[in-house]
Amino acid sequence: MNILVVGGGGREHAIIKKLRENSAVEKIWALPGNGGIARDAECAAVKATDIEGIVDFAKQVKPDYAVVAPDDPLVMGCVDALTNIGIPCFGPEAKAAVIEGSKVFSKNLMKKYGIPTARYQTFDNMDDALYYLESAPIPTVIKADGLALGKGVIIAETREAAKDAVTEMMADHKFGASGDRIVIEEFLEGPEVSVLSFTDGKTIVPMISSMDHKRAGDGDTGLNTGGMGTVAPNPYYNDEVAARCMEEIFLPTVRAMNEEGRTFKGCLYFGLMITKDGPKVIEYNCRFGDPETQVVLPLLETDLLTIMQAVTEERLGEIDVKWSDESACCVIAASDGYPLSYEKGYEISIPDGIWPYVYVAGAADEDGKLLTSGGRVLGVTAVRPTLSEAIEASYDMLDEIEFANKYYRADIGQRALKAL
């Protein structure tokens, strides 16, 4: 069994390591992968957004199966293109990936089908948006419609900041065409929970819940990042919340996408806020989260490839998906200065014993040396019987990994520990 994986970050490394646990898996290609992934897969220099290049590569190597992990290729129709040349794929078609690709689409979907989310207005005209902000409740949340590398959401604490955000998106085109339409929505409060799920459009199987740490600094201060660490399970996601999410959010979303003729098959990610009025959807992603995947997949006991193929073949209902009852913690080591400017090209040393627990996000291989090449460099995940043990073990491993300008948050998991 030979598999093609599209993507090249820590999430893809976690998917590849998990797929490797299946002894039927022989070859894995990663497009483009990275210097760390290259130790577990064959990497080729084809960008994840180069759909034509991916199709050409697939025609050459003829994989038995493909996994498309990042948002852009999914929204651009990578799964459609690979399916067209006869390669079975894990991931939604473009018409279903729009649930992440357009916030206007997803907000309207939730409104139409009564799925709980923040109240909102959509705008395609800047003057109308600015006029609305004259009397909108503050704080308010401004969101670019399209993909914006996770930076298209602005929480505005003042009316001025809200207007600036709208002007940057709609007049200055800070996010290109992604900001031509915007959503202005109600500011919600409460703990956040990430729930990834497997769905084939008939059955939905939520994975273990997790908690991301998006801000760069300790105590949730500083700029938003792609995620500085994760823990699973998330203590705020108790049985009662889980049952409500299933009835009020997960099943209605799957049915709504079917009704719209946009059946979603793949990993559907629910970004949830547990408000005093119950769980609400903050965002949908059409893919595995990063770095959520790095704590969720290590807790998965059922074979990942078996589940993925069942999703593709629409027989997920036949699979008994089992999870460990332990806890996981992933701490990200970044280049100091991330998410703004940072230096790269520093050698990374990782003791062999720790390698199985490392997921590389931004590193290049130069003559056998692993050099930092990105903002987020790698994550290290520990799985232990309790959350506090998992936190301690992941930091212990991180201590043994060395590179110049290594930066990490010291408090990953502390909020979850307090909630327990």
Residues that bind ligand GLY (CB under 6 A): 150, 212, 227, 285, 289-290, 292
Q: Which does 141 bind (CB under 5 to 8 A by kind): ligand AMP, ligand GLY, none?
A: ligand AMP
Q: Which does 188 bind (CB under 5 to 8 A by kind): ligand AMP, ligand GLY, none?
A: ligand AMP
Rounded CA separation 404/337 (Å):
12
Minimum distance between the CB of residue 38 and ligand AMP, rounded to whole angstroms? 30
Q: Which does 227 bind (CB under 5 to 8 A by kind): ligand GLY, ligand AMP, none?
A: ligand GLY
Q: Which does 285 bind (CB under 5 to 8 A by kind): ligand GLY, ligand AMP, none?
A: ligand GLY
Tokens of 95: 């018409």
Query: Closer to ligand GLY at the Cβ: 87 or 232?
Result: 232
Q: Which does 131 bind (CB under 5 to 8 A by kind): ligand GLY, ligand AMP, none?
A: none
Minimum distance between the CB of residue 152 and ligand GLY, rounded to whole angstroms? 11
**DSSP H or E stretch at residue 59:** helix 51-61
Rounded CA separation 266/314 (Å):
10
Rounded CA separation 252/247 (Å):
7
Query: How does DSSP classify residue 73?
Result: H
Minimum distance between the CB of residue 282 and ligand AMP, rounded to whole angstroms? 5
Beta-strand runs (E) in 157-275: 182-186, 192-199, 204-206, 211-212, 215-217, 221-224, 229-232, 266-275
Rounded CA separation 259/319 (Å):
25
Rounded CA separation 18/33 (Å):
15
CB neighbours of residue 323 within 10 Å: 14
Q: Which does 3 bind (CB under 5 to 8 A by kind): ligand AMP, ligand GLY, none?
A: none
Query: Closer to ligand GLY at the Cβ: 185 or 292?
Result: 292
Minimum distance between the CB of residue 296 and ligand AMP, rounded to whole angstroms? 17
Minimum distance between the CB of residue 61 and ligand AMP, rounded to whole angstroms? 35
Rounded CA separation 131/322 (Å):
51
Task: Give the contacts of 158 (CB within 8 A, at least 6 positions apart).
Answer: 138
Query: Closer to ligand GLY at the Cβ: 227 or 252?
Result: 227
Query: Closer to ligand GLY at the Cβ: 392 or 411?
Result: 411
Would you give the distance in Å from CA 154 to the centre of its chain?
A: 19
Q: Which does 187 bind (CB under 5 to 8 A by kind): ligand AMP, ligand GLY, none?
A: ligand AMP
Chain residues binding ligand AMP by CB under 6 A are: 118, 141, 150, 153, 155, 185-188, 192, 214, 271, 282-283
Dihedral sign of CA atoms 224, 402, 295, 78 in order: positive
Q: Cis bond leading into 351, ω under 30°?
A: no
Query: Closer to ligand GLY at the Cβ: 63 or 298?
Result: 298
Query: Closer to ligand AMP at the Cβ: 200 or 283?
Result: 283
Query: Closer to ligand AMP at the Cβ: 145 or 185?
Result: 185
Minimum distance between the CB of residue 150 and ligand GLY, rounded to whole angstroms? 6
Q: What residue is closest to ligand AMP based on CB?
A: 283
Please identify which residue in the block is written with the tokens 């991301």: 212
Cβ-contact 74, 95 below 8 angstroms: no
Query: Closer to ligand AMP at the Cβ: 128 or 220?
Result: 220
Query: Closer to ligand AMP at the Cβ: 54 or 144?
Result: 144
Minimum distance between the CB of residue 299 and ligand GLY, rounded to whole angstroms? 17
Q: Cis bond leading into 339, ω under 30°?
A: yes
Minimum distance between the CB of residue 280 and ligand AMP, rounded to whole angstroms? 8
Tokens of 62: 């003829």
- In this structure, which amino acid lies at residue 271? G
Coil, helix or strand for 300?
strand
List phi, psi (to 5°) of 280: -130, 150
Minimum distance between the CB of residue 334 and ligand GLY, rounded to whole angstroms? 14
Q: What residue is closest to ligand GLY based on CB?
A: 289
